[in-house]
């Protein structure tokens, strides 16, 4: 049985992503209130695997999670892309004419803003978690409250789905990374089957430093799928760069890393993994 640490409660999107990524396997899901607690769970037990949301096609990157991943020493061994679908649900005895409030994570409320504009009488209330809102309504039998969450969470907590697929943008996906302690890396990943990697590096504050890195990566036929800059606290106008790239051939990829390493102030390979194709 695999132990997977996630942020959120049963039925949340992290939970759904974990079961999709490890499809058919028996899982022990460790629910954590914060991402810091997720990484803390792995630190306390080297047999725990972390499932971390890293970016959303609408909301963008989760920059704090990049920082936590960089500082954790964990190795990324996989990625999963989850189609984000929202429903609005309530207690079985409630209906549209009895609802007064709708609760959910602020990002979920934002992603359903156009739908909610059709119900101006509903007060939108921000909560910590989509599935957590459904759980609270069910546990405390909150009449007049609705939750926005995945339909699986509504089913899990015995709530009635009033309408499914209420998200404004139907092309809404969240990308998750699977990260493990270094000692678990070999058993979780076949490096030679990997075709994607995430690296982080800092550069000297010099003209053309980033373009030099990108030119070398291009020479080695790597395809950048993402580049993200993060400010370095305490060092004004200096940045850390996180790059996701696709490559062909493990040896050629590591040749590219060796070529750019002398140009960086510090470089860290976050992990190699197989790209998730939808």
Distance between CA 104 and CA 131 in Å, rounded? 8
Task: Answer yes or no: 174 catalytic.
Answer: yes
| φ, ψ of residue 58 in degrees (nearest 5) | -110, -50
Q: Where are the alpha helices (DSSP H) in the chain?
A: 13-21, 35-44, 63-72, 106-111, 113-116, 130-139, 151-156, 185-188, 209-219, 250-260
Exactly one of 13, 21, 39, 174 is catalytic; which is it?
174
Task: Answer yes or no: 176 catalytic.
Answer: yes
Exactly one of 21, 35, 39, 176 is catalytic; which is it?
176
Distances 136 to 93, 127, 154, 231, 247 between C-alpha atoms, Å: 16, 10, 11, 38, 45
Burial of 3 (0-12, 13-18, 19+ CB in 10 A): middle
Tokens of residue 92, six digits = 């079985």
Tokens of residue 190, six digits = 């076949």
Catalytic residues: 174, 176
């Amino acid at each position: 049985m695999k132990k997977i640490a996630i942020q959120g409660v049963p039925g949340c999107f992290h939970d759904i992503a974990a079961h999709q990524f490890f499809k058919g396997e028996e899982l022990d899901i460790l629910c954590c209130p914060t991402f810091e607690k997720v990484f803390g769970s792995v630190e306390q037990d080297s047999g725990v695997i972390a499932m971390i949301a890293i970016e959303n096609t609408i909301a963008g990157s989760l920059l704090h999670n990049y920082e936590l991943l960089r500082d954790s020493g964990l190795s990324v061994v996989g990625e999963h892309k989850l189609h984000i679908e929202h429903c609005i649900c309530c207690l079985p005895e409630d209906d549209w004419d009895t609802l007064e409030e709708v609760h959910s994570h602020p990002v979920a409320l934002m992603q359903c803003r156009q739908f909610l504009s059709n119900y101006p009488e509903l007060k939108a209330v921000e909560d910590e978690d989509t599935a957590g809102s459904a759980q609270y309504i069910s546990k405390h039998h909150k009449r007049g409250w609705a939750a926005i969450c995945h339909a699986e969470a509504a089913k899990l907590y015995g709530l009635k789905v009033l309408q499914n697929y209420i998200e404004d943008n139907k092309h809404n996906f969240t990308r998750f990374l699977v990260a493990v302690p270094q000692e678990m890396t070999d058993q979780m990943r076949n490096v030679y089957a990997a075709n994607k990697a995430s690296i982080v590096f800092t550069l000297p504050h010099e003209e053309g430093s980033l373009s030099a890195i990108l030119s070398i990566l291009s020479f080695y036929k790597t395809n950048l799928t993402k580049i993200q800059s993060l400010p370095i606290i305490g060092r004004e106008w200096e940045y850390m760069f996180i790059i996701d790239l696709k490559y062909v051939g493990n040896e050629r990829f590591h040749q590219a890393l060796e070529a750019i390493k002398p140009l960086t102030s510090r470089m860290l390979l976050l992990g190699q993994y197989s790209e998730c194709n939808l």
